[in-house]
Amino acid sequence: MASISSSFPGSHTAKNISLIVGLTCLAGFLVDMVALGLPPNPMALEWRVNFLQQMSDRSIILLFGIALFMFGSVDSKRTMKQLGIFCLIVGVLFQLSCILVIRDSLILQQQALNNISNQASQLQSQIQQSTSNPNAPPNITPEQLQQASQLVTTQAESLKQNARTGITKASIASIGNLIVVGLGLLGLGRYGLQRR
């Protein structure tokens, strides 16, 4: 039985198109990563979180580009082996970067919660100072100050919950993308190395 690639009259055309589209996807991914990574500041938490989130959002383009490039290079054993090794390395790096995303997300969440708590405390102390300030306007009643204090507490709790939810959702999305694409790259890597 003839293989699909030899029986299909346009197989060389399909492989060439796959090579072109695959290289275009890879180049686009690299340009995005360079643009997002400049100026590099991997020690800054905000930079690292943003970069990893953007990379995970665009990672499907990398997977798609490599898969198309592999399909176009299926007849070249040397290229397939090199692509297989590259995919395995990048797949492992994607899996390991999940640990960094988790760590950075927890730190970022704690910083956000601390900032909200500090601002709420400052507002509460200003309200307390207003109650004991003899120069305070006479039309402000203790009940109004109590309501303001409760409002600050309620809004602080709401902001904390929003920060927790937002950061958790963003980190789950990033981790999910990195894991799925990393596994896909590992699968492509194994395929590339097993292809003889």
Please report where in the chains the tokens 């958790």 appear, as a residue.
168
Q: What Å distances lie between residue 35 and 29, 30, 31, 32, 162, CA to CA?
A: 10, 8, 6, 5, 30
Give residue 1's pLDDT band: very low, low, confident or very high (50, 70, 90).
very low
- How far apart, in whole angstroms, are the C-alpha atoms of residue 164 and residue 118? 16
- How far apart, in whole angstroms, are the C-alpha atoms of residue 151 and residue 148? 5
- Write out pLDDT tens, residues 173-182: 999 999 999 9
Domain ranges of the chain: 11-128+142-194
The mean pLDDT of 87-115, rounded to a whole number, is 96
Q: Which amino acid is at 55?
A: M
pLDDT above 70 covers a percentage of the chain that reads 91
pTM over the 0.85 mark: no
Contact 99, 179 (CB under 8 A): no
